[in-house]
Amino acid sequence: MSNVQTPASHFDTPAVLTCVADDCFQTAHAAVHDIATSLDKQRVDEYYKLIATGLGCLDAALNLNKLPPRSEANIRLRYATALSEETDNLMEAETALTKGIAVCEKNRFTDLKYCMQFQLLKVLFRRNRKAAFVEIDKNIQDAITYKAADWVYAFRFLKASLHLQSSNPADAQALDNLRNITQLANSRGDLAIAVLSSLLEGIVHLKARKEDSILDPSVQIPQVEVLTLLLDLACTLQQKAPQIAMQKLKALQARMDELVQAHDWDKMLDVLHLPLKRQPNSSASVTGDTKTIILPGDGEHNFIVLSFVTKVHAFVLAYVLSGLALLYQGAKSEKIMEYWSEALNMLGKTPAHARPPAHSLPMAIEQARWQAEVKRYVYALIALISATRTQWSRVHDCIQKIEALSPKPEGGRLGLLVLYLTGVYYQGTGDIERALQIFGDQRFAIPAAGTDDRNTGTPPPEVALLAAMNKIWIMQDLSYRNDEELTELIEKITPYCSDHADVDIRTAFNLMQAALQTEPRQSMQTVKKHIQVGLKWAQGANNTQLLAVALNLMRSVLFENVVGDQAVKSAKAGRQQAHKAGNLLWMSVADGMLAQTEEMQGQVDEAERLRQDGMRFANQAFAKPDED
């Protein structure tokens, strides 16, 4: 008897039916975007005929006897998924998935079981949202019990997605779920997941801000709104995004203008009342005696009491940040000074009745210290921008006013800033010895990265890095050059500056590197790279001062003693930017370089005019102010 089997005896019917179903689905989906755009009835009918044929093939395969268990589970999953995604026949999809889960549990197909549970939750959510959330918690607990972290993440993110689709996305369960994801991710070191879950939490809060909730008096608190706008602008300034900062500035100024005459924020109020829903039977725990911590309310809310800035002080902070935003926008210094001068006026002329109450001497001292610190900061800002314009009389005046303020500062970053400012003043007015002494102060000491036992990994303050760069610039002069100290200082600051979070620090560092005179000399390729990087970052941050330095360094390095249009264009670009920045020294340098270039081009008269301008700017820059 022959052992040869006929073709029909090994014909795999389930596989053929599954293949036909796949072809039907693939053909239907190939034109799905066009169909969705046109919604042509004939094409829609053809599409659903293909889908129905595919579903029929899968259903026929499931009705065959003696399907291998895993094949049956796979087909049921594909059938239910297509059914739920393409039709509204949810009950049949749910039945198919339930049967599939039973097959998986019987045969211990854990992977397919979780897949089916995941799909079942999406089906159930469309039919009964409350039941879906109950079921998903069971699935999460099951995954936790079996330590299936992948599926814990999967179910929790699905739950987050379902919450976002619900009418109340910011309820306690939704937020707890996202925080559980973050907690699990942090414990496992899944940092990308931790970041994503935190972002989703932010989206949940944003989504909850419907129009009616924004208009709710319990949400619309002027202090909170202003604090949000101030922090938003401050963060944008920290990121050095000038265009975005101007948008944030306009939003802040618009809200502050509205609050000028508003009566819902008293000028002398230095606390913030945050509403919280009153709990039943809370009258025994919240009374008039708790009013400094929890203030009992008359309606549905009690209030948590928090210390806060007064309305006047909020305006002061808004003026300070406004000036900084305009600085990065390239505004004229006079406009910036208007904002900072107004901040000082508000601090100095606040009438007694508009000052926050002080219930003790220490509280009054703390309030005075805060005002003095803000004044010091504003004077330091005015002095720094004046230094960039070589207005040394104003710088000297600001330093004197800072020193006259009391109570005296207790050090910290503001103290370092004032010390640095003093060094800049001496450097700018030609007292190089005193400038070097200040920049070499121990308070500006920079530990060698990773070698100092006291160095816990926290980078030195930005102002310490600036002091080091000022010192390096000075040491380029042969009169103050110390190659050993210079090399050591550069090695110390390089790890901190090369990838510093502040783009202005990185820019200044690269431009300093480009100008360094070293032995052996840097290659031209290295110098060009530093200039190109510095130029790119200065343009991105719209830093007019550093841009002037970059363009003039480019002229000096690349076009010295060069004849041609490119040399002229480079020199003119440097001169234009230097005049825009307003620094007399750089204006003098730029005019001198353009004069040299024009002279090489044969433009003798123009060169002489530029040279005279450059000498005049230099004399103005070195004119010392009268010091008392």
Q: What HEC string does 344-383 produce?
A: HHHHHCCCHHHCCCCCCHHHHHHHHHHHHHHHHHHHHHHH
Are 531 and 554 in contact, with CB atoms under 8 Å apart?
A: yes
- Residue 435 domain-assigned? no
Are 91 and 120 in contact, with CB atoms under 8 Å apart?
A: no
On the CB side of 283, CA atoms within 13 Å amount to 4
Place of tokens 């909020």: 314
pLDDT, position 613: 92
C-alpha to C-alpha distances, 309 to 226, 371, 375, 575, nearest whole angstrom: 11, 11, 15, 45
What is the token pair recorded at 230?
């101030």
Region for residue 65 given its phi and psi (left: phi exceeds 0; alpha: psi -120 to 50; beta: otherwise): beta
- Residue 418 domain-assigned? yes
- Residue 112 domain-assigned? yes
Rounded-to-integer distance, Cα 195 and Cα 185, Å: 9
Are 182 and 197 in contact, with CB atoms under 8 Å apart?
A: yes
**Are both 27 and 145 inside the same structural domain?**
yes
Place of tokens 């004939």: 42
Answer whether residue 218 shows pLDDT above 70.
Answer: no
Listing DSSP states for 161-212 in one string gives: HHHHHSS-TTSHHHHHHHHHHHHHHHHHT-HHHHHHHHHHHHHHHHHH--HH
Q: In this structure, what CATH number is given to the domain that contains residue 83? A: 1.25.40
Answer whether residue 432 shows pLDDT above 90.
Answer: yes
What is the token pair recorded at 143?
């995954």
Listing DSSP states for 215-276 in one string gives: S-TTT--HHHHHHHHHHHHHHHHHTT-HHHHHHHHHHHHHHHHHHSS-SSS-TT--EEEEEE
**Are both 100 and 207 inside the same structural domain?**
yes
Q: Which amino acid is at 118?
A: F
Q: What is the pLDDT of residues 523-558, one digit of tens each?
A: 889 999 999 999 999 988 888 899 999 999 999 988
Rounded-to-integer distance, Cα 574 and Cα 588, Å: 11
Are 28 and 54 in contact, with CB atoms under 8 Å apart?
A: yes
- Residue 490 domain-assigned? no
Residues 6+ apart with CB under 8 A from 219: 213
pLDDT band at 312 (very low <50, low <70, confident <90, very high): confident
pLDDT, position 535: 92
**Are both 87 and 198 inside the same structural domain?**
yes
Rounded-to-integer distance, Cα 507 and Cα 529, Å: 12
Region for residue 582 given its phi and psi (left: phi exceeds 0; alpha: psi -120 to 50; beta: otherwise): left
Region for residue 39 given its phi and psi (left: phi exceeds 0; alpha: psi -120 to 50; beta: otherwise): left
**Are both 353 and 391 inside the same structural domain?**
yes
- Residue 487 domain-assigned? no
- DSSP H or E stretch at residue 429: none
Give which of 277, 339, 323, 326 is closest to 303, Cα–Cα.
277
Q: In this structure, what CATH number is given to the domain that contains residue 512? A: 1.25.40.10
Place of tokens 């203008």: 257
pLDDT, position 627: 54
**Are both 210 and 227 inside the same structural domain?**
no
Given 214, 249, 278, the domain boundary residue is 214
Burial class (CB in 10 A: 0-12, 13-18, 19+), 260: exposed
Answer whether residue 1 shows pLDDT above 50.
Answer: no
Are 104 and 112 in contact, with CB atoms under 8 Å apart?
A: yes
Given 156, 181, 214, the domain boundary residue is 214
Q: What is the pLDDT of residues 475-524, one digit of tens each?
A: 998 899 988 899 899 999 999 998 888 899 999 999 999 998 877 788 88
C-alpha to C-alpha distances, 258 to 215, 252, 265, nearest whole angstrom: 16, 10, 11
Q: What is the mean pLDDT of residues 575-600?
A: 91
What is the token pair recorded at 553?
């360094």
Give which of 593, 580, 502 is closest to 548, Cα–Cα.
580
* CA-CA-CA-CA torsion sign (60, 61, 66, 69): negative
Of 539 and 278, the one with more pLDDT: 539
**Are both 183 and 226 inside the same structural domain?**
no
Answer whether residue 427 shows pLDDT above 80.
Answer: yes
Answer whether residue 206 shows pLDDT above 70.
Answer: no
**Are both 314 and 342 inside the same structural domain?**
yes
Q: What is the pLDDT of residues 115-165, one digit of tens each?
A: 888 889 989 998 899 999 999 999 999 989 987 777 788 888 889 888 877
pLDDT, position 379: 96
- Residue 515 domain-assigned? yes
Give which of 402, 405, 431 is closest to 418, Cα–Cα.
402
Q: What percent of the chain has pLDDT over 70?
A: 82
**Are both 178 and 249 inside the same structural domain?**
no
> In 10 A of CB 191, how many CB atoms?
10
Number of structural domains in the chain: 3
Given 214, 237, 269, the domain boundary residue is 214
**Are both 145 and 245 inside the same structural domain?**
no
Answer whether residue 303 shows pLDDT above 80.
Answer: no
Residue 8 is given by DSSP the state G
Answer whether residue 2 shows pLDDT above 50.
Answer: no
Q: Which amino acid is at 431?
A: D
Are 61 and 13 in contact, with CB atoms under 8 Å apart?
A: yes
Q: What is the mean pLDDT of residues 429-458?
A: 79
- pTM, whole model, 2 decimals? 0.64
**Are both 295 and 339 inside the same structural domain?**
yes
**Are both 306 and 189 inside the same structural domain?**
no
Instruction: Give the max Cα distance, the chain.
Output: 124
Listing DSSP states for 384-419 in one string gives: HHHHHTT-HHHHHHHHHHHHH-SSPP--HHHHHHHH
Give which of 392, 403, 394 is closest to 425, Cα–Cα.
392
- Average pLDDT of every residue of the chain: 82
- Residue 56 domain-assigned? yes
Place of tokens 């803000």: 374
| Residue 271, strand partner residues | 307
Are 542 and 503 in contact, with CB atoms under 8 Å apart?
A: no
Rounded-to-integer distance, Cα 355 and Cα 347, Å: 10
Give which of 106, 126, 187, 198 is closest to 152, Cα–Cα.
187
Rounded-to-integer distance, Cα 333 and Cα 323, Å: 9
pLDDT, position 407: 65
Of 422 and 620, the one with more pLDDT: 422
Q: Which amino acid is at 380?
A: A
Are 233 and 249 in contact, with CB atoms under 8 Å apart?
A: yes
| Residue 272, strand partner residues | 306
**Are both 193 and 237 inside the same structural domain?**
no
pLDDT, position 212: 43
What is the token pair recorded at 392?
């040394």
Q: What is the pLDDT of residues 178-195, one digit of tens each?
A: 899 889 888 867 765 676
* CA-CA-CA-CA torsion sign (417, 421, 424, 426): negative
Are 110 and 140 in contact, with CB atoms under 8 Å apart?
A: no
What is the token pair recorded at 374?
């803000």
Of 593 and 348, the one with more pLDDT: 593
- Residue 488 domain-assigned? no
Rounded-to-integer distance, Cα 502 and Cα 546, Å: 14
Range of the domain at 252: 222-427
Rounded-to-integer distance, Cα 300 and Cα 222, Å: 20
